[in-house]
Amino acid sequence: MGSIFLVTHPWLPNSPKEIKREILKAIGIKNIEELFSDIPESARFRGDWNSLEIGLKRPLSEIEVRRYVEKLLSKNKVFTSPPPFLGGGAWPHYVPTVVKYIMSRAEFYTAYTPYQPEMSQGLMQALFEYQSMIADLLEMEVVNSSMYDWASAVAEAFLMSVRVQKGKNKILVPSTMNPFHKSVVKTYTLPKDIKVEEVKYDKETGLMDLEDLQEKLSKRDVAAVYIENPSFLGFIEENAKAIGEISHEYDALFIMGVDPISLGVLEAPGKLGADIAVGEGQPLGLGLNFGGPYLGIFATRWDLRLVRQMPGRIIGLTTTVDGKERGFAMILQTREQHIRREKATSNICTNEMLCALGAAVYMALLGKHGFKKLGRLIMYRSHYAAKKLNEIEGIKAPVFKSEIFKEFTVDFSSAGVKYPEVHEKLLERNIHGGLYIKEWFPELGEVALFCVTELHSKEDIDLLVSSINEILKSK
C-alpha cells in the first residue's frame, strides 16, 4: 500500500489514517476509541501531536543522538583511581577479561531458559558446572541456578522455611541485617503473614546476642534463624556455629547469608551446620553494572523436605537409556509457569543464566588456592585501612571489636563533624567514600561503612586516609 510515502508523525510510524484503518480491520474493531475504551478520559491526550513536549521536539539523526547521549554521559563521575570505597551489598572487584569475553559470546547472551534440553546441552552443562562449584564453595549438597540477587534469595529462603516448618510463621534475623535486603524481605513476607523479628546484638562486638536468641526461640514458634557472615557491618559472626546449634535445639532451620569471596578464609555454611545458604554472586566476576543484573545464590543440605521446596530450577546430569552417553536436563522446575500456580514454590521468572555462567568462569579461573589468596589479600588490605583510619584523631575504626572482612564501620562522632560533609569533600577530590548508615543504625552515631577489596592498592588507601585527615583538620 506504499505506506512509507504517507505523511507520518516522526515518533509514531503508524499514525497515517490509512495504516490505522488497516490495523483496526485486522484486529476486528471499528474505531480507535473502541481499542482504548478502558483508558479513562482524564488520561487521554486530545491535543495536537506537534505540541507534545517530547525529547528535543524533532527527529534526530544517529550522529546527533550519539553526540547528545555522550554529552549527558560526560556529566557522570567515574571512580577508577582510586576505586569507590562503597560497599553495602555490591562491591568493587576485579573482573577478568576472559569472563567478559565468554559472557559476550552470542550463543550465551542470546539464550534464555533451556526449555528444550536437546537443543541446549552446552548451556545446561555450564549451569551444571556453576551449581557444582557453588556446592563445593558452600559445602552444601544442592544448589539451584539461580536467583535474582541476595535480597530475593533470602526472601525466598524465608518463604521456603515457613512452608517446610508447618505451623510456624516467624523468622529471626540479626538487628544488623542488610537494610536493603530487609526491605525486600518485608515485601515478600507481608502478604504471607510471616513475622520477621530482630535479635539484639552485643554493643561492643556486634555479634548476635545468644541470650536474646534463646529467649525468642523458647516460644517454639520460629521457623528459621537467619544470620549474615560477614555481617552487613563488616564484622565476622564468630558465633555462627553456636547460633546454628541453638536454632536446631529449638527445631528451627538455620539460614546463612554469605559473601562467596569470603569463603577462601572463612568456614563454609555447610560446615557450620546451615540448612539453607544464600548469598550474592556479584563479586564472582560480574562487576557493579550500575546496580545489576546480579546473581542470587541459593543452596540447601540434602534433605528431601528442603529440596522439594526450593525455588527456581536445578540442572542435573543423566545418561541416555543405553547408558552410553551423558546428557543434561532440568530436574526440578517448581515455578508457576510449569505447574499449577497454587503448587508453585516461587514465581521467579528467570534464572540469571548469563550471570551464573560468568560466575562459573570466574570460579574456574580462580580455583581453590586462588580463593584463599584473594580472601587473605582482602583481609590484609581492609585491616590496614581500618588501622590507618583509626590513627586519625577523632575517628574510631572499626566501631566493633570483632574481626572484619572487606567492610568495616568508621565512626566520625568524636571528630565534631557529620559524615555527609566529609563525603562531599571526598567527592570533590574524586574519591568516593563509604556508605552513611545513620538512617538505619542511628544508635551508632556518625558512622559510615567503608569497603576495601583487591582493587584498592596501598596508595589508594593512603590517599583516602590523608584526604580525610586533611578534611577534618580544615574544619
pLDDT of residue 351: 65
Q: Which residues contact 30 (CB under 8 A, 6 or more apart)?
A: 24
Residue among 160, 99, 29 nearest 359 (CA): 99
Per-residue pLDDT at 339: 57
What is the architecture, at CATH level 2, of domain 369-473?
Answer: Alpha-Beta Complex (3.90)
Rounded CA-CA distance 96/366 in Å is 10
Q: Identify which has the larger pLDDT, 273 or 45.
A: 273
pLDDT value at 448 more than 60: yes
C-alpha cell at 332: 526440578
- State residue 113's pLDDT score: 66
Q: Per mean pLDDT, which range of 12-26, 113-127, 402-416, 430-444 is the poorest?
A: 113-127
Q: What's this model's pTM, rounded to 2 decimal places?
A: 0.87
How is residue 192 written as a grid cell? 504471607
Of 375, 377, 412, 378, the closest CA to residue 397 belongs to 412
pLDDT at 4 over 70: no
Question: What is the per-residue pLDDT for 37?
Answer: 86
pLDDT at 421 over 90: yes
> What pLDDT is recorded for position 110?
76
CA distance linking residue 286 with residue 107, whole number of Å: 18
pLDDT digits (tens, 9 = 90+) for 194-248: 999 999 999 999 999 999 999 999 999 999 999 999 999 999 999 999 999 999 9
Please report the beta strands in 390-471, taking only residues with DSSP state E, as ranges in sequence order: 407-411, 435-436, 447-451
Q: Is the pLDDT of residue 170 over 50?
A: yes
Q: What is the mean pLDDT of residues 447-455?
A: 98
User: Which residues have CB under 8 Å from 228's CB, separation 6+?
Assistant: 174, 176, 177, 178, 237, 256, 257, 258
More confident residue, 316 or 320: 316
Across-strand partners of 276?
255, 300
Per mean pLDDT, which range of 16-20, 116-120, 132-136 is the poorest? 116-120
Give the pLDDT confidence score for residue 3 in this predicted structure: 45
Taking only Cα atoms into account, the Rg of the chain, rounded to an integer number of angstroms, comes to 26
pLDDT higher than threshold 80 for residue 308: yes
DSSP designation for 230? S
Domain ranges across the chain: 3-68, 97-363, 369-473
What confidence category does residue 331 fall into, taking pLDDT thresholds of 50, 70 and 90?
Answer: confident
The string of DSSP codes covering 150-194 is: HHHHHHHHHHHHHHHSTT--EEEEETTS-HHHHHHHHHHHGGGT-
Confidence at 31, pLDDT banded by 50, 70, 90: confident
> What's the mean pLDDT in 143-159?
95
The domain made up of 97-363 is a member of CATH 2.30.42.10: no
Give me the pLDDT at residue 469, please. Answer: 96
First to last CA, the chain: 74
CA geometry: angle 408, 413, 416, nearest 5 deg: 135
Least confident stretch, 50-54, 397-401, 467-471? 50-54
What pLDDT sits at residue 352? 84
Cα separations in angstroms, 386 against 8, 86, 203, 380: 63, 14, 19, 10
DSSP secondary structure code for residue 84 in this structure: P
3-state secondary structure of 29: coil
Which helix (H) or strand (E) segment is 48 a member of? none
- pLDDT tens digits, one per residue of 341-367: 667 777 776 668 899 999 999 999 999
For all residues of the chain together, what is the average pLDDT? 91
- Phi, psi angles (nearest 5°) of residue 350: -155, 175
Between CA 306 and CA 163 the distance in angstroms is 9
What share of the chain in percent tops pLDDT 70? 93
Per-residue pLDDT band for 330 (boundaries 50, 70, 90) equals: confident
Query: What is the predicted pLDDT for the residue at 1?
Result: 42
Confidence at residue 111, expressed as pLDDT on a 0 to 100 scale = 66
The separation between CA 48 and the C-alpha centre of its own chain, rounded to angstroms, equals 45
Give the model's pLDDT for residue 57: 74
